[in-house]
Amino acid sequence: MSDVIHSITMPKWGLAMTEGKLGEWLVDEGDQIDSGDELLEVETEKITGAVEAAVGGTLRRCVAETGETLTVGALLGIVADKSVSDDVIEAYITEFQENYVPPEPEEDGEGAGTETIELDGRIIRYSLRGEGGVPAILIHGFGGDLNNWLFSHDALAEGRAVYAIDLPGHGSSSKDVEDGSIDFFSSVISDFMNALQLDKAHLVGHSMGGAISLSLAIQSPEKVASLSLIGSAGLGAEIDSEYLTGFVKADRRKEMKEQAMKLFGDSSLVTRSLVEDLLTFKRTDGVKLALETILSSFAPKGTQEKVMRDEIKGLDVPIQVIWGSKDEIVPSSHSDGLPENVSVTVIEDKGHMVQMEAASEVNRVLSDQMA
């Protein structure tokens, strides 16, 4: 039975997620679907995301209803061939529901499932998914943390180890950032690889994390299997300096929400919980000084200090850039006129956090690069 009936279940996006709310179904019962199609939207405390089909077939049942809150792993729907009888479908649903056991809450909350490593006196938090293959390292941007990869980490971990890291000054890592330069951060990634005996890795960098990835590839090309730069800094001088300074200064919910809304093509994705998380991070000891130090090195005069566009042509590794066409922070025009050795993907109507807004498409492009 299980080889012709496929269950759609509540996903687990991030270490702390225990439940989600079904926002709406994007397809109807009886619709023919293909693998990768977006089936429904799930709302979490952090953000709203789409659940995509793992297989093709017919959506035979919408088991969960719009507005219903369910725990991770709970049954949402059924995909099966039209030849499977209704009685068999109902028997499958009954058996699933009778045997389903909600997962136990993680004892350590946000810290569950993460590890730390000491590098040159700093504690660096990271999370690992998957194993084997050439590993990948996911590197977030200014003011972010490893949770920026909520919708990508597990998806990319099929057949390879995938590390998501909190950079110094961010998340739960130490707040000492030295001079806050791109070169400093790229040295941290290099040290991270050395400490974990990762000879070579696929580097996936978002925003400032893209500049860090590119810097490491220029300095130590032997360490890099491929480069994927998402809404990347380092490819042009222009950047929304008002966002950067506004983010650093924001200490109230209204101010932080105004900045967070610039990150998404669809500003409705900015939840109260997301804003509160950002404010909690900002209020952590050492964070304000760390961000100010980074900003003074990264964009001291309102434009990016380190532009590495000319160095790309000399890199002998697969390189791609991915942008949302509505990116308000780093303009998608920075993807224009890049050398022929760079593959370019621009996703319409998405913003700076394109890896969260268009996760399924971004994950497919990233997986193709790493294959």
Residue 240 lies in a domain: yes
Confidence category of residue 1, pLDDT binned at 50, 70, 90: very low
Contacting residues for 228 by C-beta, under 8 A, at least 6 apart? 202, 203, 204, 205, 213, 319, 320, 321, 322, 365, 366, 369
- Which tokens sit at 178? 């030295």
Q: What is the mean pLDDT of residues 281-291?
A: 95
Domain that holds residue 38: 5-99
The residue out of 36, 66, 99 marking a domain boundary is 99
pLDDT > 90: percent of the chain: 81
Check pLDDT > 90 for residue 133: yes
Confidence category of residue 109, pLDDT binned at 50, 70, 90: very low
Q: 53 with 123, same domain?
A: no
Q: 84 with 182, same domain?
A: no
Confidence category of residue 67, pLDDT binned at 50, 70, 90: very high
CATH code for position 247: 3.40.50.1820
Which pLDDT score, from 0 to 100, does residue 113 have?
72
Confidence category of residue 128, pLDDT binned at 50, 70, 90: very high
Q: 182 with 323, same domain?
A: yes
Q: 26 with 140, same domain?
A: no
Cα dist. 266→137, 145, 326, 348 in Å? 27, 21, 9, 12
Q: 140 with 210, same domain?
A: yes
Check pLDDT > 70 for residue 108: no
Confidence category of residue 238, pLDDT binned at 50, 70, 90: very high
Check pLDDT > 90 for residue 11: no
Query: In this structure, are residues 164 and 126 in contact, taking their beta carbons and an 8 Å threshold?
Result: yes
Interatomic CA distance for residues 159 and 134, integer angstroms: 9
Confidence category of residue 15, pLDDT binned at 50, 70, 90: low
Residue 106 lies in a domain: no
* Element at 86 (helix H, strand E): helix 86-99
Interatomic CA distance for residues 235 and 205, integer angstroms: 13
Residue 105 lies in a domain: no
- Which tokens sit at 231? 């809404």
Q: What is the mean pLDDT of residues 77-104?
A: 91
Check pLDDT > 90 for residue 14: no
Query: In this structure, are residues 301 and 204 in contact, taking their beta carbons and an 8 Å threshold?
Result: no
Cα dist. 260→255, 256, 347 in Å? 9, 6, 20
CATH code for position 35: 2.40.50.100
Check pLDDT > 50 for residue 111: no
pLDDT top residue among 298 and 53: 298
Q: 357 with 229, same domain?
A: yes
Q: Domain count for the chain, please give it.
A: 2
For the entire predicted model, the pTM comes to 0.84
Ranking 70-79, 205-214, 225-234 by mean pLDDT, the lowest is 70-79
Residue among 50, 182, 191 at smallest CA distance from 126: 191
Q: 223 with 312, same domain?
A: yes
Q: What is the CA radius of gyration of the chain?
A: 21
Q: 202 with 69, same domain?
A: no
Is the torsion defined by CA of 348, 366, 56, 65 positive or negative?
negative
Q: What is the DSSP letter of 199?
A: S
Q: 79 with 118, same domain?
A: no
Q: What is the mean pLDDT of residues 188-210?
A: 98
Q: What is the DSSP letter of 287?
A: H
pLDDT digits (tens, 9 = 90+) for 139-178: 999 999 999 998 899 889 989 999 999 999 999 999 999 9
Residue 104 lies in a domain: no
